[in-house]
Amino acid sequence: MRCTKCKGTAQVEVRRHHTAFCGPHFLEWFEAQVDRAVRRERMFTPQDRVLVAVSGGKDSLVLWDVLLRLGYQATGLHLNLGIGGYSQESQEKCEAFARDRGAELLVVDIPAEYGVGVEGLAQLTGRVACSACGLSKRYLFNRVAVDRGFDVVATAHNLDDEAAVLLGNLIAGNVDALVRQTPVLESTHPGLARKVKPLYRIAERETAAYAVLRGIDYVLDECPNSAGARSLLLKEALNLLERDAPGTKQSLYWNFLEKVRPLLRTASEPVALRSCVHCGQPTTAEVCAFCRMTERVARKLQSRVAVSAARREPVAASSGGGGGPA
């Protein structure tokens, strides 16, 4: 197999494009694909401040690396989810990446701010862990971006992610989610940050190849709570199709963006947003879902403290008339 550009030995094959590249030309192609996505979708400019959501995994660190190399003002934001050693390692990978490149990294420690990690948030509110985690991420990414004056939030959702989410939403008939699925989600409220996905043209296998060739050190393990997730099943089904028909994921997602979503968007009613009475973040209700979750957790934690204190309270001595020892 030869490199499409230099005819040297190829290291990475991109089957859906009928191309293959040597290491240097693959890196060049990869960065061009990301830059093309940013410019084509008008995601941001070199003058904009970009907040990159980084987990410590390959996709997010690759995105941050590419944006820095392309000259964008990219600051990382890591959320410590409080999932034991997994979260500790994830934060260490992000900190090492930032330190090696002289980049700015912001960290929000969820257990320190809210008393428990995402698993505790889930357990105390009857949610599944992924639900509490997703809600926390959406809220905190937006809050940090708005509070610190960033122009846009960039997440590392790749082509595989977007195709799997699309397939799931189509199966469920989730029209509202389909309307919102786009590489650029514009702000519709003063407290809502603009959100973009610069890797939407890139397959997961390609981000892994980029990370290896660039020597990016990332967390290899998946989140412990992701086992059995429906998204993994959808990805597996799409991988089977992609194996025999390269380009299936790309055709599914790009045709949706170009032909289907515009029709859904025209037929859908805009969602009216208001400010949460407690935190001011945008919501469709009086109190946003994140505030409802964290306030319920706070009440339960306070109740536990009160019960624990009551159990430790010494029993008062009886003042009855029983005779003591002479």
In this predicted structure, what is the pLDDT of residue 306?
A: 76
Residue 321 has pLDDT above 50, yes or no: no
At a CB cut-off of 8 Å and minimum separation 6, what does 191 contact?
Answer: 142, 146, 275, 280, 281, 282
List pLDDT tens digits, range 266-303: 887 888 899 999 999 999 999 999 999 999 999 999 98
Q: Residue 325 — pLDDT band, cuts 50, 70, 90?
A: very low
Residue 244 lies in a domain: yes
Q: Residue 15 — pLDDT band, cuts 50, 70, 90?
A: very high
In this predicted structure, what is the pLDDT of residue 271?
A: 84
Residue 132 has pLDDT above 60, yes or no: yes
Residue (of 309, 292, 282, 250) closest to 125 by Cα position:
292
Residue 83 has pLDDT above 90, yes or no: yes
Q: Residue 326 — pLDDT band, cuts 50, 70, 90?
A: very low
Q: Residue 199 — pLDDT band, cuts 50, 70, 90?
A: very high
In this predicted structure, what is the pLDDT of residue 312?
A: 73
Residue (of 28, 44, 24) closest to 186 by Cα position:
44
- Would you call 53 helix, strand, or coil by DSSP? strand
In this predicted structure, what is the pLDDT of residue 229?
A: 82
Mean pLDDT of the chain: 93
Residue 210 is part of which domain span? 38-222+230-272
In the chain, the number of structural domains is 1
Residue 33 lies in a domain: no
pLDDT (mean) for 85-93: 97
In this predicted structure, what is the pLDDT of residue 138?
A: 96
Residues 293, 125: contact at Cβ < 8 Å? Answer: yes
* % of the chain with per-residue pLDDT over 70: 96
List pLDDT tens digits, range 29-57: 999 999 999 999 999 999 999 999 999 99
Residue 156 lies in a domain: yes
Q: Residue 13 — pLDDT band, cuts 50, 70, 90?
A: very high
* % of the chain with per-residue pLDDT over 90: 86
Residue 312 lies in a domain: no
Top pLDDT among 228 and 315 is at 228
CA–CA separation, 281 vs 197, rounded Å? 22
- Which CATH number is 268's domain given? 3.40.50.620
Residue 27 lies in a domain: no
Residue (of 266, 295, 271, 268) closest to 285 by Cα position:
271
DSSP letters along 272-303, please?
P-EE-TTT--EESSSS-HHHHHHHHHHHHHHH
Sole residue written with tokens 């390609």: 206
pLDDT (mean) for 170-197: 95
pLDDT (mean) for 128-137: 94
Residue 159 lies in a domain: yes
Residue 19 lies in a domain: no
- Would you call 147 helix, strand, or coil by DSSP? helix
List pLDDT tens digits, range 94-119: 999 999 999 999 999 999 999 999 99
Residue 294 lies in a domain: no
pLDDT (mean) for 238-246: 96
pLDDT (mean) for 160-179: 95
CA–CA separation, 155 vs 183, rounded Å? 10
List pLDDT tens digits, range 148-163: 999 999 999 999 999 9
